[in-house]
Amino acid sequence: MKQFEDDDFEIPPAVPPPPPAPVNAPVTPTAAPANGKAASTALTDTPAPIPTRTGSPAYTEDDEVCDFGDPEASRVGDGYDRIRPDKSQPDLVVRFALMPHLKPRKALVHWVEGALGKSQRRCASKPRELPAYCCQVLGESRYHVVVPAIQYLNCSTTGAYAKDYTGPVEFKLGFVDLSPSTFSAVGGLVEDDGTNNIYQVDVTMKRNGQKFDFAMRKCVWRNRPEVAQAVESAMQRFVATGGEQKLHKKLGRETTLKEWRELLAGQVAKAESVTLDDDEY
């Protein structure tokens, strides 16, 4: 199993953004719809956290009541989705900005494909130890990296905003999932000179066969005080309400030795490793 040093996956530290200028009417982000579409001119964000049982009001039957259109009832998963162009729109360009509020995380994973579909599972092998059962059957695992980000929702299909655009900027929180090669490519878009780094720009992503092409764009959210205020508020709330744990879960499903044996023995599904040489995994 090939090992990588931590330094191989370091994005240069972020330069803290300047405090946003005051605005006449503060912008309050709202939850992004589960279907990924933006709501009118709202600056979108993950839903407010559900209170914990400790210190919370007693549960009543009213907690089960909802109406059509209730965002909590319509939400699928944690609302914190992977950012990438959809396969059905091969010419679509997605625009995003990496967020410095949580450091990127990496893990060794196997992608397994079987009767139950594809699943991304954490490798059971440990550094400086003999390969675990999963690697003995599937071959060596590969690193992948997840980085918190915001996706712009109302830019054009080429990832652009009109020159001197002053209208609303819609966004949602998410993450990018990168292979080692694309992680290096994205980090290399900007030469870190102590002032500028990858967190100071926007990035566009477009499909190129089974790979992705990336390009640098001028940062939108940092140059619009009301958007900067909304993004900072959204990210601070995300971090304070379990954002680190959510990001950790995006690294893959934890799988016990028993589960690996059942999976690879065909008791759950006949599985075979999916190559990670391509970005599309």
Mean pLDDT of the chain: 77
Range of lowest pLDDT (9-13, 213-217, 257-261):
9-13
- 60 pLDDT band, cuts 50/70/90, is low
Q: Which whole number is the average pLDDT over 142-169?
A: 94
253 pLDDT exceeds 60? yes
Q: What is the token pair recorded at 146?
A: 């997840």
pLDDT for residue 53: 40
pLDDT for residue 182: 92
pLDDT for residue 89: 87
> Which residue, among 117, 125, 128, 130, has the nearest Cα to 142 in the 3D structure?
125
Residues 6+ apart with CB under 8 A from 176: 82, 83, 84, 96, 98, 146, 147, 149, 186, 205
pLDDT for residue 73: 52
Q: What is the token pair recorded at 254?
A: 């934890």
- 17 pLDDT band, cuts 50/70/90, is low
Which uninterrupted H or E stretch holds 164? Answer: none
End-to-end Cα distance, the chain:
19
Domain ranges of the chain: 79-273
Cα distances (Å, whole numbers) of residue 93 to 79, 167, 177, 203 = 21, 20, 16, 10
* Phi (first) and psi of residue 185, to 5 degrees: -65, -45
- 266 pLDDT band, cuts 50/70/90, is low
Q: Which whole number is the average pLDDT over 14-39?
A: 48
Cα distances (Å, whole numbers) of residue 62 to 17, 49, 50, 58, 67 = 43, 18, 15, 11, 12
Query: pTM of the prediction?
Result: 0.69
Report the SS3 class of residue 233.
helix
Higher pLDDT, 129 or 54: 129
Q: What is the pLDDT of residues 110-148, one digit of tens each?
A: 988 766 677 889 999 887 888 898 998 888 898 999 999
Report the SS3 class of residue 267.
coil
CA distance 199 to 97: 7
What contacts 24+ positions apart, CB below 8 Å, involve 185-188?
A: 185/214, 186/98, 186/214, 187/11, 187/12
pLDDT for residue 36: 46
Q: What is the DSSP letter of 228?
A: H
CA distance 174 to 150: 6
